[in-house]
Structure 1
Amino acid sequence: MLATTLACPRCQSTHVVKNGRIHNGRQNFKCKACGRQFVQYPTKKVIGQETRNLIDKLLWERLSLAGITRVIGVSEQWLQTYVNAKYEVTGRQVEIEEKKRGGLTIQCDEMWSFVGNKGNKQWVWLALDWKSGEIVGCYVGNRSGDGARGLWQSLPSVYKQCAVCYTDFWEAYEQVIPESRHRAVSKKSGQTSLIERFNCTLRQRVSRLVRDTLSFSKKLDNHIGAIWYFIHHYNSSLLV
């Protein structure tokens, strides 16, 4: 208990204790009555657009949110709120140039991830255009036929109508891909090597997808948002 008469700004209780320090070294306090955390004599810090643009770029790299706060000097609470808002408005459909109907080939694969704990598995289903290298489909869900169906529904219409689809032998693909255009192949064939390589890229660039990590997602919406945020960046980088 503090010897001073410091009062909580929310409930005015004086039952206040020290609770570590914030990112800039100032003493942080916590109200035992309502749980509010605060600093004495706070100064409002305006986060400029230049800093926000830098954060946007850092989110494309393998940095945890805690790491970004240490580099940039913003609070974890502000950054989490900023990231939540950004991922909420991130589109869940691919944005690619219109494709002609003939000669389309895609490679499909699924990769394991989790949210909250490793018991809550979330499989990331992906489809890649063999010619352009673009990610043309993505779905996050279970590894059953529902997951494969979600991936199929995420594809632009031209791919669902015309593309030849190369996958591994996972049976869920057979439930949704037309038999005449489905090619189940082994990894040794090299026919799914591009999407497998992208899986590695995704794990290297999105920290919450690393198999053994402290940066895992706590919320499914943010997990999905982070994946799509990187996919949009990856596809746009292919056009440069």
Structure 2
Amino acid sequence: MEVKCPYCESDQIVKNGITRHKKQNYKCKKCNRQFVINPKNQPIAESTIKLVDNLLLERISMRGIKRVAKVSLQWLQSYVNGKSVSVEPQVKVIPRKKPRLTIECDELWSFVGDKKCKVWIWLAINRNTREIVGVFVGSRDQETALGLWQSLPTVYRQWAVCYTDFWQAYSCILPKKRHKAVGKESGQTNHIERFNCTLRQRISRLVRKTLSFPKKLENHIGAIWIFIHHYNSEIHSKFCIMPS
């Protein structure tokens, strides 16, 4: 039987001992990689990876994704770790030139590790397009409110009227002339409050009563950003406009 390297398809192959599983080990003289014929652990198919990416956008636990995609929990956790680290922590928004912009800001809480470690997600949404234009994750203080403000694109910081609740951190950061603090009964923050519900429905680690609390803050933040990018991409496709 002719043996070829599965990595570079070279036929310059030599035997290289026996593995601990009593299988013949081969080495490629061209790329210097080792391999066996018909390995027990096959590479994850591209279709499976796409399925995992889609499942990560739904309210399914890691073990649930493992069962549906038929992958090992070890591989899945490693894949999620890498995906969380590589995701871009910056919103991509539709370019705006008109100064008449209105955003709604709010924050929601979740946990990392256990209920003693509460983490707050600060969000800003464009009222007209429903596009998420600002995101920051941290505690519920003035410093994190500043992080939300700095995450907004320049045009929003210069022109947008900002509707929030009465949490005092907002009044310390947002421009007084464009900051409108209102109650829920006013209906001026309905869109951002509805999006908070969407997050809790789509991301299992944000459900109040759940076993899906993340153990790593990086994965928690990564999962939020992955969904934000997916959500905004659907908004952009409706307008058929490339974000900046």
TM-score by length of 2: 0.80
Give the aligned residue type for 2:139: N
Counterpart CA distance in 1 for 2:234 and 2:60 is 19
- Deviation >4 Å, runs of 4+: none
Question: What does the per-residue CA deviation read over 1:139-166, in whole Å, with 9 as the maximum and x for residues that have no partner?
Answer: 1101010111111011111111110000
Asked whether the 8 Å contact 2:125–2:132 carries over to 1, the reply is: yes
1:52 shift after superposition: 0.3
In structure 2, the partner of 1:38 is: none
Alignment of 1:89-108 (within 5 A): 89-108=86-105
Superposition deviation, residue 208 in structure 1 = 0.4
Whole-Å Cα distance in 1 between the matches of residues 82 and 160 of structure 2?
35
Q: Which residue of 1 aligns with 2:35?
A: none
Conservation of the 8 A alpha-carbon contact between 2:112 and 2:119: yes
| Partner of residue 62, structure 1 | 59
Structure-to-structure mapping, 1:1-240, within 5 angstroms: 43-240=40-237
Q: Contact (CA 8 Å) 2:94, 2:236: kept in 1 or not?
A: no
Aligned residues, how many? 200
Q: Which has the higher contact order (CA 8 A, sep 6+)?
A: 2
3-state SS, counterpart of residue 237 of structure 1: helix
3-state SS of 1:106 partner: strand
Calculate the aligned-residue CA RMSD, in Å.
1.0
Sequence identity of aligned pairs in percent? 60
Greater Rg by CA = 2
* Structure 1 unmatched runs, 5+: 1-8, 10-41
Structure 2 Cα separation of the partners of residues 94 and 133 of structure 1: 13
User: Normalising by structure 1, what TM-score?
Assistant: 0.82
